[in-house]
Amino acid sequence: MIIPGQLRALVVDDNTYARAICTMGLKKLGISNVEEADGGGEAILKLMQTPFHFMLMDWYMPDVNGAGVMQVLRDGRFGAPSTMPVILMTAYPSQDNLARARKLGINEILPKPFTTEQLGMAVRRVLPPAERLDDSVFL
């Protein structure tokens, strides 16, 4: 199992407060290597430059929305990160949004607001077995 402190996460949300809450939650789980992006365009640039174990992303953002990021990320021409797990954080979990997100390759959906425990469970579900967090991160 990988040590949570060795995981690299990208948090993407145009709302500064939402990014801060998510980053704080990840740090409570022991994931200290967290980068932030304030929109889809910045996220795409970061993904092209740096490998991440997973990404948490909002769906509605003004520059490039979550669907746009997923179209780029899941395109085979994008490169190795195309299989990176993505957790969608959304305050609008309508059936249409969820169906579109799944079709575009979102691995997990986390309705806002969420607790640190819910965040940890979502992260645990998207990581490959060798990289999963164990239950001790919740103690």
The three-state secondary structure class of 60 is: coil
* Per-chain mean pLDDT for the chain: 88
Question: How many domains would you assign to the chain?
Answer: 1
pLDDT band at residue 39 under the 50/70/90 scheme: very high
So what's the pLDDT on residue 1? Answer: 44
d(CA 11, CA 37): 6
CATH of the domain at 54: 3.40.50.2300
Task: Read off the pTM.
Answer: 0.88
List, for residues 75-87, the tens digit of each pLDDT value: 988 765 688 999 9
d(CA 121, CA 46): 25
Residue 105 lies in a domain: yes
Residue 134 lies in a domain: no
List, for residues 4-15, the tens digit of each pLDDT value: 778 999 999 999
Residue 137 lies in a domain: no
Question: H helices then E strands: how many in the chain?
Answer: 5, 5
Residue 136 lies in a domain: no
Residue 139 lies in a domain: no
Tokens of 111: 């309705």
d(CA 67, CA 47): 15
Residue 57: what are its φ and ψ, rounded to 5°? Answer: -145, 140
The three-state secondary structure class of 90 is: strand
pLDDT band at residue 139 under the 50/70/90 scheme: very low
Residue 138 lies in a domain: no
The three-state secondary structure class of 29 is: coil
d(CA 132, CA 52): 14
Q: Is the dihedral of CA 114, 106, 60, 81 positive or negative?
A: positive
